Amino acid sequence: MALRYSELMALDPDRIDAAFYDELKRHYTDEEIVELGAFIGFNIGYHTFFGTLKFYPMFAPDGRLVSQEESARIYGAAPASLVARGDQACT
């Protein structure tokens, strides 16, 4: 449910209706839902912004400090997109 909450908030927020919140409340307290919702919203906002800045992790998976060019080669030019998942998303 938490993962669906995140995907739907990013891609199809109209589907987060009263029934969805009722189902969330079967698994989480109101306090946990606020914590999750604010965290997800924050990440939706910032990751899109960060994506336009074209910066990459400072360290390789083996812990080496690497240049931005090498990091781009290691991690790829763009993250895997939820949109690119097509009908796998939000099902």
Residues that bind other proteins (CB under 8 A): 9-10, 13, 16, 18, 21, 30-31, 33-35, 37-38, 40-46, 48-54
Distance CA 61, CA 63 (A): 5
| Displacement of CA 63 from its chain's centroid (Å) | 24
- CB closer to other proteins, 51 vs 57: 51
Distance CA 41, CA 44 (A): 5
Instruction: Report the nearest approach of other proteins to the CB of residue 50 (Å).
Output: 8
- CB closer to other proteins, 39 vs 59: 39
Where residue 66 falls (left for φ over 0; alpha for ψ -120 to 50; beta otherwise) is beta
- CB closer to other proteins, 17 vs 64: 17
Instruction: Report the nearest approach of other proteins to the CB of residue 62 (Å).
Output: 30
- CB closer to other proteins, 51 vs 76: 51
Assess contact for 27 and 42: CB atoms under 8 A.
Answer: no
